[in-house]
């Protein structure tokens, strides 16, 4: 089966889900999400069965990368993230229904729920296509498919002021970053005369490249993508949007849109890094952004009291580590020993997916049964729900980077790159950030296990379905396996 | 006769347009006006693309790859406006304001 069928299947599945929502009378609209999850599981299986065509001469292949295990790996990340987001969305259903269902008597009690399950499918298709985009046009269109779906999803709880505010903020800043991106693309096209990434690389590495104009295009593109991945100083929208958005969508934003942003960043920046005239200046700018992001993300996370806001700053901090890896790209003339930045970023994003989605899955279960997302609400949770606390403990340990977890290997690989490239400033600030991370992640764990709950708190155990628990166990096992034998994940893309 | 208008003139105009749009986004308070300024920035990018296609010809024809991206930008901008205005209307219904300085309920 040709590889581009995967995206077509996902889009078709999303359309079928919308049609079912509109025309089939369902008792419980969560069936739509189950359908989507089964479909995504099948598509994930098909990832291992696709083959690349022998001839890639057609016009279509100018827009689509041919033959690349890297892109399949990122497609896998998109599918797994969407699958888990749909699972969270089913758990989160009561809150969505309370905020969106129509008040009329003859309306379906769950009206307005179907689209909440269908929209992630379209975002997923966009993410998957982005993984294979090798042309400025296809990068732009797939990025916008994802972003526009996200605008709707973030603002989805239309009677909740927080969600609407988050939606508007995301809309304005997302559109601003799009404007920077297209202006940067226009200049890149002007300098190189082509939209193909291969052609751009050729033009930028030639000796007669206009350095000033190329750096201008680079700056515009970097501003835009720093917005998308949450690199300082363009991270300021992240805490508000993460806090206001529905929890499953926050999880999707922090994993899906970050993975997509870094993949595009890798693709678009590699021509600049390959050019001897540009690589020095480009890595200095990347290093400065990584430095700021690490510092701001980690230090601003310290005083947070809302758990989603804490995870928002944590996502900024992780973006800092990823940018640090990118800033440690060796010069083209040097032979790269060991793992390349692209491999480190791919591994880090896989690890980040596992631990962040595990954390958000636990938070969604807690949020759907307790009203609060404040850190105080986690006090003494271990006595009330030992299993959920254990799952959250795994996620926090991995996010903090305790040895034998996936998060540790990710950070270790980044630091190793920094040492190889002798980026001492970045290394120091990275270590400070990791140390701060120990404090604010393990504060949650300590609160769950050591603190006594508030006097008026309920002691009833929190309910989680069998499926949710199974998936939590799978994620916990995956975190440990990736921490002990990172080559299992590395083998998927190299 | 020499053509008086060169690529540089187009780039200058589009740069000014982009700067006006960016300044508007940063300075104005009304969401609708901010949204218009964002469209202005996209228009500036479109003008740059057309200018580069026209002045860097391939085989005597303008480089049509720029036009392809331009049409996609127009389409995407339309989709963005459709979604964006709907969100702004929903916000206006609940808060009765489109002033960005009043949209600040989330603080830590």
Residues 6+ apart with CB under 8 A from A88: A247, A248, A251, A360, A361, A364
For residue A359, pLDDT over 90 is answered with: yes
ipTM of the complex: 0.95
Nearest chain A residue to B45, by CA: A183
Q: How far apart are CA A456 and CA B59, in angstroms?
A: 78
Q: What is the pLDDT of residue A276?
A: 83
Q: Which of A321-335, B4-18, B32-46, B53-67 has the lowest mean pLDDT?
A: A321-335
Q: Residue A281: which of A362, A222, A352 has the closest Cα?
A: A222
Q: What is the pLDDT of residue B2?
A: 59
**In chain A, residues 226-265 whose CB comes closer than 8 Å to chain B:** 239-240, 243-244
Q: Which residue has the tokens 């199974």?
A: A470
The two structure tokens encoding residue A225: 């993508």
Domain spans, chain B: 54-99
In a domain, A479, yes or no: yes
Among the partner-chain residues A182, A190, A194, the one whose CB lies closest to the CB of B73 is A182
Nearest chain B residue to A184, by CA: B45
The residue-averaged pLDDT of A432-459 equals: 85
Residue A67: pLDDT band with limits 50, 70, 90: low
Q: What is the pLDDT of residues A285-300, one digit of tens each?
A: 999 999 999 999 999 9
Q: What is the pTM of this model?
A: 0.94
**In chain B, residues 24-63 whose CB comes closer than 8 Å to chain A:** 25, 31, 34-35, 38, 41-42, 44-46, 48-49, 51-52, 56, 58, 63
For residue B35, pLDDT over 90 is answered with: yes
Residues 6+ apart with CB under 8 A from B63: A193, B52, B53, B56, B57
Q: Chain A closest CA to B4's CA: distance in Å? A: 20
Q: HSE, CB side, 13 Å, CA atoms: give it for residue A69.
A: 8
Q: What is the span of the domain harbouring residue A383? A: 280-494
Total domains in chain A come to 1
Give the three-state DSSP class for B22: helix
Nearest chain B residue to A158, by CA: B90
For residue B108, pLDDT over 50 is answered with: no
Q: How far apart are CA A104 and CA A107, in angstroms?
A: 5
- A86-95, A379-388, A452-461, range with greatest mean pLDDT: A86-95
In a domain, A183, yes or no: no
For residue A333, pLDDT over 60 is answered with: no
Burial of B67 (0-12, 13-18, 19+ CB in 10 A): middle
Helices (H), A193-306: 197-205, 211-229, 237-244, 247-252, 258-274, 279-301
């Amino acid at each position: 089966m040709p590889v581009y069928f995967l995206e077509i299947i996902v889009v078709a599945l999303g359309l079928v889900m919308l049609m079912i929502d509109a025309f089939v009378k369902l008792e419980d609209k969560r069936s739509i999400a189950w359908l989507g999850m089964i479909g995504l599981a099948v598509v994930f299986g098909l990832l291992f069965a696709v083959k690349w065509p022998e001839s890639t001469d057609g016009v279509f292949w100018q827009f689509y990368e041919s033959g690349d295990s890297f892109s399949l790996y990122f497609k896998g990340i998109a599918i797994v993230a969407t699958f888990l987001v749909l699972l969270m969305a089913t758990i989160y259903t009561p809150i969505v229904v309370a905020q969106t269902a129509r008040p009329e008597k003859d309306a379906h009690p769950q009206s307005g729920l179907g689209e909440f399950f269908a929209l992630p499918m379209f975002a997923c298709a966009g993410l998957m296509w982005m993984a294979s985009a090798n042309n400025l046009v296809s990068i732009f269109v797939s990025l916008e498919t994802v972003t526009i779906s996200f605008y709707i999803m973030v603002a989805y709880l239309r009677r909740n002021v927080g969600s609407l505010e988050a939606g508007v903020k995301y809309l304005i800043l997302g559109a601003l970053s799009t404007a920077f991106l297209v202006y940067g693309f226009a200049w890149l096209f002007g300098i190189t005369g082509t939209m193909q990434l291969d052609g751009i690389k050729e033009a930028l590495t030639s000796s007669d490249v206009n350095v000033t104009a190329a750096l201008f295009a680079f700056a515009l593109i970097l501003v835009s993508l720093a917005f998308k991945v949450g690199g300082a100083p363009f991270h300021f929208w992240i805490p508000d949007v993460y806090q206001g958005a529905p929890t499953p969508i926050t999880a999707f934003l922090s994993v899906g849109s970050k993975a997509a942003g870094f993949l595009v960043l890798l693709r678009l920046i590699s021509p600049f890094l390959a050019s001897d005239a540009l690589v020095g200046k480009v890595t200095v700018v990347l290093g400065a952004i990584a430095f700021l992001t690490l510092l701001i993300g980690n230090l601003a996370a310290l005083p947070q009291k809302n758990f989603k806001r804490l995870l928002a700053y944590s996502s900024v901090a992780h973006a800092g580590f990823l940018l640090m890896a990118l800033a440690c790209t060796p010069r083209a003339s040097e032979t790269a020993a060991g793992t390349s930045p692209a491999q480190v970023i791919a591994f880090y994003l896989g690890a980040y997916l596992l631990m962040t989605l595990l954390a958000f899955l636990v938070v969604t279960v807690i949020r759907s049964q307790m009203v609060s997302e404040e850190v105080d609400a986690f006090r003494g949770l271990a006595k009330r729900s030992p299993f959920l606390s254990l799952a959250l403990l795994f996620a926090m340990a991995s996010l903090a980077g305790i040895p034998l977890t996936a998060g540790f290997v990710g950070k270790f690989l980044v630091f190793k790159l920094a040492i190889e490239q002798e980026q001492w400033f970045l290394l120091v600030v990275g270590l400070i950030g990791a140390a701060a991370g120990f404090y604010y992640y393990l504060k949650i764990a300590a609160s769950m296990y050591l603190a006594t709950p508030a006097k008026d708190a309920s002691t009833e155990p929190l309910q989680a379905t069998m499926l949710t628990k199974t998936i939590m166990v799978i994620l916990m096992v995956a975190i440990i396996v990736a921490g002990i034998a990172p080559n299992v994940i590395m083998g998927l893309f190299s | 006769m020499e053509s008086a208008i060169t690529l540089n003139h187009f780039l200058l105009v589009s740069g000014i347009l982009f700067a006006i749009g960016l300044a508007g986004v940063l300075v104005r308070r009304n969401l609708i006006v901010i949204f218009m300024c964002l469209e202005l920035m996209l228009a500036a990018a479109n003008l740059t693309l057309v200018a580069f296609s026209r002045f860097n010809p391939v085989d005597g024809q303008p480089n049509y790859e720029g036009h392809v991206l331009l049409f996609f930008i127009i389409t995407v901008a339309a989709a963005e406006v459709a979604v964006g205005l709907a969100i702004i209307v929903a916000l206006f219904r609940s808060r009765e304001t489109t002033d960005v300085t009043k949209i600040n309920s989330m603080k830590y």
